[in-house]
A and B are shown apart, each in its own frame.
Chain A
Amino acid sequence: MKSLILRCTLIGILSASGIAYAANPQAQTNDDLADLQQQIDLMRKNYDQRIRDLENRLVQAERRAADSDELREELVESVEELTLAPGGDQVASRPSDFNPGIGVVMVGTIQSMNPSTDTFEIPGFALGEETGLGNDGLSVGESDFTLNGSIDDKFYGSMTLAVSGDEGVVLEEAYVQTLALGGGFNIRAGRFFSSIGYLNEKHLHTDDFIGRPLPYRAMLGNQYGDDGLQLSWLAPTDNYWIVEAEVFRGDAFPAGGAANEGFGSWTLSSHVGGDFGVSHSWMAGISMLNLDVEARTTQEQFSGAGSEEVFTGDSTLYIGDFVYKWSPAGNTRSQFLKLQGEYFWREEDGLFTPVDGNDLAYREDQNGWYLEGVYQFKPKWRIGLRHSELDAGSLGPAFAYSSLNTQRHSPRQNTLMLDWSNSEFSRIRLQYNRDESMRDSVDIWTLQYIMSLGAHAAHGY
């Protein structure tokens, strides 16, 4: 287009000048005219040539411009690619960025018991510490302070301190674990919660209800952990299959006295698990806890302070556990259902010394179970129901004035809870508990908050 305009203009100018030249009165002769005509022709030719040259250059320029557009785009792309490539400031994302992870979990409750009671017992069971129904009114429970992370490429470590006003600072867990043994093997050493059952190794603040179910309270003092060594092996199978064996010092309830030169207890457990489709998953297991108990001392609640009972002998506990989880398409955020249950069976054989100080031959089978369901009906909101009960077995009249007297009562408990989680890190829970652990039942309403600060350790299944 441009070249056409150019050409027209040039031709216009030329013709005009030619006419002007021809009209010159000085040009008289025909020869002159012919000469002139020739010159004009030549000029025209010249100009035509020049115009063609200009045109060509224009076309070339346009082509170059197009090329440079493409070139520019390619350049931009390669620059983008260059800038997208990792630069010197690139920091690899590794958990060790925050090594060690520091996390604090704070728990507080407001509770109302009816009738209010300070003494607590489960008839037929000698109880460990802190297995009661909690305090009336306002109270801050234990705050967990956890440090964890990779020690190096071969070891992982985790330490949890339980801090509370009453107990001060208690070392709850402090263990190291191998990462690089391979072959499905892991060794853990230090103080940790045993892998028996389903709930046992989980921290209390991850529970779905306030207070452990009755079998855990009565037979394990909420949770069994001690100084120990654990070997676990995960089978190279398509479904999950793990075998875990542990040796513990044997100091912590329900053991006592660190028998066998400090190898007082051992466990063996195995769990299998898998998925059904994308929405369903499950895990089930069997466990055994074997204790050599030397002078396990427990409090007898109703004979006043300092009334101790002592047990020495063998204690074996078997646990069968299962858990099933459902969430639509495996998205746990919108809707979620969890069913979980455990069965405990325990055999104790040895000498029991009630408060009066006379040794009694004691041999008893006891059992207990619980079943719970938690349903997240919409994001943030969950509702849960739990039933748990115990069967202590019955002993002769010799045990009438001891905590092992069942008082012909079957301890049981029904619990209903509703909780709301603003995020993964905060939860507020309201719970109603109809506790029939004792012969006189107690109604307990509790409002609880569980808040975590800092690094949150990934929660197990």
Chain B
Amino acid sequence: MNSITKRILSWRLPLTFLATLLASMPVSATVNIFTCEPEWAALAEQVGGDQVTTFSATTARQDPHFIQARPSLIAKVRKSDLIICSGADLEIGWLPLLLRKSGNRKIQVGTPGYLMATDYVRLLGRPSRVDRSQGDLHAAGNPHVHTDPRNMTLIAKAITDRLSELDPAHAAVFQLNFEHFSKSWKASLKQWKERARPLRDMPIAVLRNNWPYLVSWLKLRQVVTLEEKPGVPPTSSNMAKVLTRVQQQPVKAVIYAANQPSRAAEWLAGKADIPIVELPYTVGGNDTAVDLFSLYTSTIDLLLEVNQ
């Protein structure tokens, strides 16, 4: 094969592909929503109903801090009209890359198609000092806002506004869906509050410091954190320190999320003879947490079980 033919061939092949693909481009009427985490997909469905198609980049078993900017995710971002993520640097290791590679101008930073949940609620745990020796801290504050369900109404409102902006023809539907959601959410909040009353002031140990919103909602008492520095696995010296602390100041349980390795938590639970609780953290985190409503019910029930 001479080099001219080779050149022609290598040009023609992709061009043929291109033509075929352009011809088969899908036309969708619904708003394509790319979410970084399952909770935002679930919330967007509450507001969007049949008018949206959602995709979550991560599952409840994946730690959203450590996700690879996989080709499949870039392809998904390319075709989305709205992206909903936690923000506050949670997805900083992969989301900016997906956006840049996507060639999709609808979802770039600052456009109506770019929604970060943490922009709409008050953030806890903004560090006074940001230094990597403290681990991979989130300078903007703790991003795990969904663990307090009271935040969800505010974020649902933000999603409603965005959807109405992107798809004005269905604005009334989104508004109606939001009102319906916020009504049943309010009722659930009341129920959860009643149910969680015995949890007030319950002393707990946590694997990683990603529960400040849950702690503030249920008025738990976080005594100690196993991961001294976020993102850096607990060191043996810190584990020993934590154990002494727990022996002096007893806790009811060691808590970790379904998307975290349980080993360190199990170690502490074994040594201090305290129960260990794997909380669902997000929708799909366990068999009972199948939607937004059951997520919080399951969380409370799991805590009640060990709060004897």
Binding site for B on A (CB under 8 A): 80-81, 83-87, 90-97, 150, 153, 156, 177, 179-186, 232-243, 268, 270-275, 278, 281-283, 286, 288, 290, 314, 316, 318, 325, 329-334, 347, 349, 379-380, 422-425, 453, 456, 458-461
**Are the C-beta atoms of B103 and A182 separated by less than 8 Å?**
yes
| Chain A residues, CB < 8 A from B129 | none
For chain B residues 26-60, which have a beta carbon within 8 Å of chain A? 26, 58-59
CB distance from A273 to the nearest CB of B (A): 3
Contact of A84 among B17, B63, B66, B150 (CB under 8 A): B150
Can you list 27 pairs linking A and B with CB atoms under 8 Å apart?
A: A81-B154, A86-B120, A93-B119, A97-B140, A182-B104, A185-B103, A186-B100, A232-B103, A238-B75, A239-B71, A240-B74, A270-B14, A274-B72, A278-B62, A288-B10, A316-B7, A329-B62, A332-B66, A332-B68, A349-B3, A423-B132, A424-B93, A424-B231, A453-B132, A458-B69, A458-B93, A459-B93
Indicate with 1 or 0, residue by residue over B83-98, a CB within 8 angstroms of chain A CB atoms. Answer: 0000111001111110
Q: Which 10 A-B pairs have the closest CB atoms?
A: A273-B71, A240-B71, A182-B105, A184-B103, A180-B105, A458-B97, A240-B75, A329-B61, A275-B72, A93-B140
Indicate with 1 or 0, residue by residue over B1-19, a CB within 8 angstroms of chain A CB atoms. Answer: 0010011001100100110
Closest to B74 in A: A240
With A84-B121, A334-B261 in contact, do A271 and B69 touch (Cβ < 8 Å)?
no
| Chain B residues, CB < 8 A from A274 | 71-72, 75
Does B108 have its Cβ within 8 Å of any Cβ on chain A? yes
Contact of B151 among A84, A90, A272, A318 (CB under 8 A): A84
Closest to A329 in B: B61
**Please, how many angstroms separate the alpha-carbon atoms of A333 and B64 in the complex?**
11
**Are the C-beta atoms of A181 and B61 separated by less than 8 Å?**
no
Does B252 have its Cβ within 8 Å of any Cβ on chain A? no
CB distance from A175 to the nearest CB of B (A): 12
With A96-B109, A316-B3, A425-B132 in contact, do A236 and B122 touch (Cβ < 8 Å)?
no
**Please, how many angstroms separate the alpha-carbon atoms of A278 and B73 in the complex?**
12
Closest to A286 in B: B10
| Chain B residues, CB < 8 A from A183 | 103
With A243-B18, A314-B3 in contact, do A181 and B71 touch (Cβ < 8 Å)?
no
**Please, how many angstroms separate the alpha-carbon atoms of A459 and B66 in the complex?**
11
With A97-B140, A182-B105, A243-B14 in contact, do A235 and B21 touch (Cβ < 8 Å)?
yes
| Chain A residues, CB < 8 A from B110 | 94, 153
**Please, how many angstroms separate the alpha-carbon atoms of A96 and B89 in the complex?**
11
Other than A85-B121, A461-B69, give 7 A-B pairs with Cβ distance below 8 A: A86-B121, A95-B109, A234-B103, A236-B26, A242-B101, A268-B11, A461-B71
**Are the C-beta atoms of B136 and A424 separated by less than 8 Å?**
yes
Tally of A-B residue pairs with Cβ under 8 A?
Answer: 186
**Please, how many angstroms separate the alpha-carbon atoms of A322 and B29 in the complex?**
35
CB distance from B11 to the nearest CB of A (A): 7
| Chain B residues, CB < 8 A from A94 | 109-110
**Please, how many angstroms separate the alpha-carbon atoms of A271 and B63 in the complex?**
27
Does B169 have its Cβ within 8 Å of any Cβ on chain A? no
Indicate with 1 or 0, residue by residue over B105-133, a CB within 8 angstroms of chain A CB atoms. Answer: 11011110000101111100000000010
**Please, how many angstroms separate the alpha-carbon atoms of A288 and B94 in the complex?**
28
With A85-B122, A93-B87, A281-B71 in contact, do A379 and B261 touch (Cβ < 8 Å)?
yes
**Are the C-beta atoms of A234 and B102 separated by less than 8 Å?**
yes
**Please, how many angstroms separate the alpha-carbon atoms of A461 and B71 in the complex?**
7
CB distance from A112 to the nearest CB of B (A): 31
**Are the C-beta atoms of B140 and A91 separated by less than 8 Å?**
yes
| Chain A residues, CB < 8 A from B136 | 423-424
CB distance from A394 to the nearest CB of B (A): 21
**Please, how many angstroms separate the alpha-carbon atoms of A458 and B7 in the complex?**
34
**What is the interface residue range for chain B against chain A?**
35 or more
CB distance from B77 to the nearest CB of A (A): 9
For chain B residues 220-278, which have a beta carbon within 8 Å of chain A? 231-233, 259, 261
| Chain A residues, CB < 8 A from B93 | 424, 456, 458-459
| Chain A residues, CB < 8 A from B111 | 153
CB distance from A190 to the nearest CB of B (A): 15
**Please, how many angstroms separate the alpha-carbon atoms of A87 and B141 in the complex?**
15
**Are the C-beta atoms of A460 and B120 separated by less than 8 Å?**
no
**Please, how many angstroms separate the alpha-carbon atoms of A173 and B11 in the complex?**
28
**Are the C-beta atoms of B87 and A80 separated by less than 8 Å?**
no
Closest to A184 in B: B103
**Are the C-beta atoms of A86 and B10 separated by less than 8 Å?**
no
**Please, how many angstroms separate the alpha-carbon atoms of A225 and B118 in the complex?**
39
**Are the C-beta atoms of B61 and A330 separated by less than 8 Å?**
yes
**Are the C-beta atoms of A93 and B78 separated by less than 8 Å?**
no
**Please, how many angstroms separate the alpha-carbon atoms of A94 and B111 in the complex?**
12
| Chain B residues, CB < 8 A from A318 | 10
**Please, how many angstroms separate the alpha-carbon atoms of A233 and B17 in the complex?**
13
| Chain B residues, CB < 8 A from A96 | 109
Closest to B120 in A: A86
**Please, how many angstroms separate the alpha-carbon atoms of A181 and B2 in the complex?**
37
| Chain A residues, CB < 8 A from B231 | 423-424
Contact of B79 among A186, A236, A424 (CB under 8 A): A236
**Are the C-beta atoms of B154 and A84 separated by less than 8 Å?**
yes
**Please, how many angstroms separate the alpha-carbon atoms of A332 and B70 in the complex?**
12
Does B198 have its Cβ within 8 Å of any Cβ on chain A? no
Does B168 have its Cβ within 8 Å of any Cβ on chain A? no
Contact of B78 among A184, A325, A349 (CB under 8 A): A184
| Chain B residues, CB < 8 A from A331 | 61-63, 66, 259
**Are the C-beta atoms of A234 and B66 separated by less than 8 Å?**
no
| Chain A residues, CB < 8 A from B78 | 184, 234-236
CB distance from A378 to the nearest CB of B (A): 10
CB distance from A274 to the nearest CB of B (A): 5
CB distance from A433 to the nearest CB of B (A): 27
**Are the C-beta atoms of B122 and A153 separated by less than 8 Å?**
no
CB distance from A158 to the nearest CB of B (A): 10
| Chain B residues, CB < 8 A from A288 | 7, 10
**Are the C-beta atoms of A241 and B68 separated by less than 8 Å?**
no
**Are the C-beta atoms of B70 and A273 separated by less than 8 Å?**
yes
Most buried by A among B11, B119, B122: B122
CB distance from A316 to the nearest CB of B (A): 6
| Chain A residues, CB < 8 A from B233 | 379-380
| Chain B residues, CB < 8 A from A241 | 17, 21, 75
**Are the C-beta atoms of A150 and B109 separated by less than 8 Å?**
yes
CB distance from B43 to the nearest CB of A (A): 16
| Chain B residues, CB < 8 A from A286 | 10
**Are the C-beta atoms of B109 and A87 separated by less than 8 Å?**
no
**Please, how many angstroms separate the alpha-carbon atoms of A84 and B69 in the complex?**
32
CB distance from A220 to the nearest CB of B (A): 18
| Chain B residues, CB < 8 A from A461 | 68-71
**Please, how many angstroms separate the alpha-carbon atoms of A380 and B99 in the complex?**
28
| Chain B residues, CB < 8 A from A379 | 233, 261
**Are the C-beta atoms of A184 and B102 separated by less than 8 Å?**
yes
| Chain B residues, CB < 8 A from A380 | 233
